């Protein structure tokens, strides 16, 4: 049986950029198998939080732990290998087919290595075949199976966002960090992405930390919500509680 994903624990993290405090003593916990939404106005520090979690930004103080393992200040590839994968707010993928991109997502898992696969050694060939089969399963899970051999450049914007999503899943993460997964999508694509998030959580047994401006989506998907404003946590709780919180209304409406 599959084990529960480990708890992701962010404790008292502070990030400063030349005079600006982007995160100010932030603490949050993503419970095993839950969807935790991180919301807040533009500039609140949401992407900075993801950069700390994925090793792209070093906090001045504070710790990040995944289960019993400290992730703080590890290099991005080490964090990815420990089971934390992310998507980016802006699409970076433009080259190759969907299959190419998903296979790239699996390189961190490759045992045979580049030299062996370049020489087409039998173990590397078998491993490559297994990786391709797994990428196809993940493409099916996110609704990209019909486009598996299609160049990414020929896909719609919504489908390209799905490639980003699938590529993160190809790392077999235990924790998935999604930075604005439905930004720029139409209503049908948004609804479909929400379903995919629910499906992958159920089928792959992972936890999700979700940054998203679409409040309807947050309310439908999240078990817990943390609200940031100017790098500080101003509220935390169920979607219903947070929606009614006067501090949250003030931060969003500026009243």
Half-sphere exposure of 90 (CA within 13 A, CB side): 1
Q: Does 166 bind ligand ADP (CB under 6 A)?
A: no
Cα end-to-end span (Å), the chain: 51
Q: What are the structure tokens assigned to 145, written together?
A: 């199976």
Do the beta carbons of residue 31 and residue 175 sit within 8 Å? no
Q: What are the structure tokens assigned to 248, written together?
A: 């949250």
Alpha-carbon Rg of the chain, whole angstroms? 19
Binding ligand ADP (rule: CB under 6 A), the pick from 5, 36, 48, 103 is 48
Q: CB 247 → ligand ADP: shortest distance, Å?
A: 17
Do the beta carbons of residue 68 and residue 252 sit within 8 Å? no
Distance CA 104, CA 100 (A): 6
- The site partner of 43 among ligand ADP, Mg ion, none (C-beta below 5 to 8 Å per kind) is ligand ADP
Q: Looking at the chain, how many residues does it have?
A: 255
Binding ligand ADP (rule: CB under 6 A), the pick from 17, 19, 111, 149 is 17
Q: Does 42 bind ligand ADP (CB under 6 A)?
A: yes
Q: CB 190 → ligand ADP: shortest distance, Å?
A: 19
Q: CB 97 → ligand ADP: shortest distance, Å?
A: 31
Binding ligand ADP (rule: CB under 6 A), the pick from 44, 177, 196, 222 is 44
- The site partner of 22 among Mg ion, ligand ADP, none (C-beta below 5 to 8 Å per kind) is ligand ADP
* Binding segment (CB under 6 A) for ligand ADP, from list 40-48, 73-81, 152-160, 191-199: 40-48
- The site partner of 45 among ligand ADP, Mg ion, none (C-beta below 5 to 8 Å per kind) is ligand ADP
Q: Does 60 bind ligand ADP (CB under 6 A)?
A: no
Half-sphere exposure of 227 (CA within 13 A, CB side): 23
Choice between 22 and 139, CB closer to Mg ion: 22
Q: Does 175 bind ligand ADP (CB under 6 A)?
A: no
Choice between 47 and 97, CB closer to Mg ion: 47
CA distances from residue 97 to 33, 45, 144 in whole angstroms, order as listed: 31, 33, 11
Q: Would you tell me which residues interact with Mg ion (CB under 5 A)?
A: 46-47
Distance CA 125, CA 137 (A): 19
Q: Does 40 bind ligand ADP (CB under 6 A)?
A: yes
Q: Does 96 bind ligand ADP (CB under 6 A)?
A: no
Q: Where are the alpha helices (DSSP H) in the chain?
A: 46-53, 76-81, 98-105, 113-118, 122-142, 157-169, 187-204, 215-221, 239-244, 246-253
Which spans of this chain sit near ligand ADP (rule: CB under 6 A)? 17, 20, 22, 40, 42-48
């Amino acid at each position: 049986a599959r084990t529960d994903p480990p708890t992701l624990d962010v404790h008292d993290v502070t990030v400063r950029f030349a005079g600006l405090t982007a995160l100010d003593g932030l603490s949050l916990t993503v419970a095993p198998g839950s969807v935790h939404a991180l919301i807040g106005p533009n500039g609140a520090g949401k992407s900075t939080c993801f950069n700390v979690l994925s090793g792209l930004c070093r906090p001045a103080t504070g710790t990040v732990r995944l289960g019993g393992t400290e992730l703080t200040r590890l290099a991005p590839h080490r964090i990815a290998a420990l089971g934390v994968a992310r998507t980016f707010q802006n699409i970076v993928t433009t080259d190759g087919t969907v299959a190419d991109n998903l296979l790239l997502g699996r390189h961190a898992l490759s045992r045979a290595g580049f030299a062996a696969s370049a020489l087409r050694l039998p173990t590397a060939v078998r491993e490559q075949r297994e990786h391709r089969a797994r990428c196809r399963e993940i493409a099916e899970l996110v609704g990209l199976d019909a486009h598996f051999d299609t160049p990414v450049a020929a896909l719609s914007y919504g489908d390209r966002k799905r490639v980003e999503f699938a590529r993160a899943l190809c790392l077999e993460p235990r924790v998935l960090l999604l930075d604005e997964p439905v930004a720029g999508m139409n209503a049908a694509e948004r609804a479909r992405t929400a379903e995919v998030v629910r499906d992958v959580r159920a089928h792959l047994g992972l936890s999700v930390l979700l940054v998203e401006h679409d409040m309807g989506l947050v309310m439908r998907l999240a078990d817990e919500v943390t609200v940031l404003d100017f790098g500080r946590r101003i509220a935390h709780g169920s979607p219903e509680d947070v929606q009614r919180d006067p501090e949250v209304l003030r931060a969003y409406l500026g009243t």
